[in-house]
Structure 1
C-alpha cells in the first residue's frame, strides 16, 4: 500500500475508501449482507439515496441495527458500503 502524504492528510488508494480499484465514480447497489446471529447470507439491493437503519434477517428474524460509528446496516454487516458512503457524502 502506498499513500500520498500532504501535510497532515494521507490520501489512500481507492480500495481503502470502500470501493474496489477501477470503480471510482460507479455506485454499487447490490451488496451481500450477513446476519451476525445466525450467519445467513443474502444479496440485497441497497437504497440509492438513503441509509437503511434496520434489516430483518429472513432466516432467523433477528433485527440488525448499525454498529456504533456506522451509518447503516450495510456499512456494518455487508460486503459493500452504502451508496452515500461510496459517494463520500454524509448520510
Structure 2
C-alpha cells in the first residue's frame, strides 16, 4: 500500500517590501501572522489584503495552512 508523505515547512525567508532585506522566520503552526517587524529597517510590515498572512504575502513559501491545502 502506497501512502502519500507530505512535509510541511516550518521555516520561511521573508523579504521586506520596504528595504528588500531577507530574514529567516519560524512560522507558527496556524500560519496566521498578520504582521512582522523587519530586522534591518524596523518597518512593521502587514499582510497584503488578498493574502491570509505575511508568510503568504512576502515569504518564499506559503504558510503551513496553505501548504496543507495546496497538497
Query: TM-score normalized by structure 2?
Result: 0.85
How much is the aligned-residue C-alpha RMSD, in angstroms? 1.5
Secondary structure class of the residue paired with 1:74: helix
Regions of 4+ moved over 4 Å: none
Structure 1: any 5+ residue segments left out of the alignment? 1-23
TM-score, length basis structure 1: 0.67
Deviations 1:13-53 (A, max 9, x none): xxxxxxxxxxx621001110000001110111100124100
Distance in 1 of aligned mates of 2:34 and 2:42 = 15
Write out aligned runs for 1:63-78 (5 A). Answer: 63-78=44-59
Residue from 51, 54, 57 that aligns with 2:35? 54
Structure 2: which 5+ residue stretches go unaligned?
none
Q: How many residues align?
A: 66
